[in-house]
């Protein structure tokens, strides 16, 4: 059923299953990892990949490898013997690759035995591809860092990822911006070669060729699915009309709202480009209704419920509501959706106020 749902929603790869071992009951991701048993983890992971594949989609096995805690996960080093890695921490991934034919792998945020996993050649090339015969793509976790052996980690060190065959850096709002990493510099001074970049591209293209996306492009699907895929829905049209707002020199994002349709049931969607930071949200609005009126709005960030705010009527007076919005990671684009639960609220503007930087992401 999950595979069918992915296919229906035009998703070719699920970001799961998670195959890390339950090394500690305090690991904040144990709810999505399978067990403390490497064999059971591998068998269940392989079964999930095979099940997704029936519908044409696939999964991304993660976080490769030794992601055993959430606290300080960008910096905490896992120091593990080769035997323990092979028999315990790698075993679930090996079974999922060999028996489940996994085609997508995500590395971790942190270092393992001195090297951040997104730039670890032994992990992503020797073990995964040479020893296990993996032929798919490897991606980083979101805004992960990498390092060259003996040097500190850096989110801009994509050259180490290229050499290790970590094919995709996730994520970037503008892939054409060549100033956001060190690839041009590394290619010029010989640290990486054109052949290594072509190898990454080959891995990515090989994955795409086996995905439903390619079948759609070649019209090699059923007439019903083809019609559904190519038909423009109201939601598709709305996506094309999204307006994007940039942060100013202070890190704030100002979104004017005077022209919005705020009738009951209306939805507003816009994009914001921000840096990694904690933000407050300020909503300046008014309502001609009296103080006993309730005017709820619901906020979503990247399609995830954020908060429901209930305003009161203000008898036509402008007011500003300020509250904590939370952390946004970047540099990246995020999507904000506002649902209006009642008629009678007029929005002048919404401002996301930069509160403080989140360390460790955009150093």
User: Which residues form the catalytic set?
Assistant: 141
Pairwise CA distance, residues 360 & 284, whole Å = 33
Q: What is the DSSP string of 147-210?
A: --TTS--BTT-HHHHHHHT--B----S-TT-TTSSSHHHHHHHTSS-HHHHHHHHHHHHHHHHT
Pairwise CA distance, residues 35 & 19, whole Å = 8
Residues 6+ apart with CB under 8 A from 116: 109, 110, 144, 145, 146, 147, 153, 160
Tell the residue number behind the tokens 């994509």, with chain if given. Answer: 158
Which DSSP helix (H) or strand (E) runs through 116?
strand 115-116
Question: Which residues sit opposite 294 in a β-bridge?
Answer: 312
Residue 200 neighbours by CB distance under 10 Å: 20
The two structure tokens encoding residue 203: 């891995």
Pairwise CA distance, residues 224 & 75, whole Å = 49
Helices (H), the chain: 2-8, 38-54, 82-84, 91-98, 121, 158-164, 183-189, 194-209, 212-217, 223-230, 234-240
The phi, psi pair for 152, rounded to 5°, reads -70, 160
Buried b (16+ CB within 10 A) or exposed e, 260-283: bebeeeeebbbebbbbbbebebbb
């Amino acid at each position: 059923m999950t595979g069918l749902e992915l296919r229906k929603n035009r998703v070719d790869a699920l970001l799961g299953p998670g195959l890390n071992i339950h090394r500690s009951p305090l690991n904040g991701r144990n709810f999505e990892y399978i067990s403390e048993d490497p064999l059971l983890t591998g068998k269940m992971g392989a079964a999930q990949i095979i099940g997704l594949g029936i519908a044409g989609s696939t999964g991304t096995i993660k976080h490769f490898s030794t992601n055993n805690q959430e606290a300080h996960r960008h910096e905490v080093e896992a120091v593990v013997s080769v035997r323990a890695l092979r028999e315990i921490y790698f075993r679930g991934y090996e079974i999922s690759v060999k028996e489940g034919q996994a085609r997508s792998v995500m590395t971790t945020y942190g270092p393992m035995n001195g090297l951040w996993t997104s730039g670890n050649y032994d992990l992503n090339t020797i073990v995964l591809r040479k020893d296990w015969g993996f032929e798919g793509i490897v991606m980083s976790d979101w805004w992960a860092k990498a390092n060259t052996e003996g040097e500190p980690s850096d989110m801009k060190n994509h050259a180490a990822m290229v050499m290790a065959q970590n094919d995709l850096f996730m994520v970037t709002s503008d892939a054409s911006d060549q100033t956001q990493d060190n690839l041009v510099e590394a290619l010029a001074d010989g640290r990486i070669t054109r052949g290594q970049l072509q190898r990454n591209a080959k891995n990515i293209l090989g994955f795409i060729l086996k995905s439903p996306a390619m079948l759609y492009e070649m019209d090699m699907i059923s007439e019903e699915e083809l019609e559904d895929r190519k038909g423009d829905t109201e939601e598709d049209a709305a996506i094309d009309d999204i307006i994007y707002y940039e942060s100013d020199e202070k890190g704030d994002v100002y979104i004017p709202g005077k022209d919005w349709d705020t009738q009951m049931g209306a939805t507003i969607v816009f994009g914001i480009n921000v840096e990694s930071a904690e933000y407050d949200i300020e909503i300046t609005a008014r309502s001609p209704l009296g103080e006993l009126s309730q005017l709820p709005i619901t906020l979503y960030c990247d399609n995830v419920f954020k908060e429901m705010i209930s305003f009161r009527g203000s008898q036509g007076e402008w007011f500003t509501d300020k509250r904590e919005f939370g952390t946004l990671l970047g540099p990246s684009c995020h999507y904000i959706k506002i649902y209006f639960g009642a008629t009678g609220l007029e929005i002048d503007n919404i401002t996301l106020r930069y509160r403080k930087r989140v360390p460790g992401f955009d150093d």
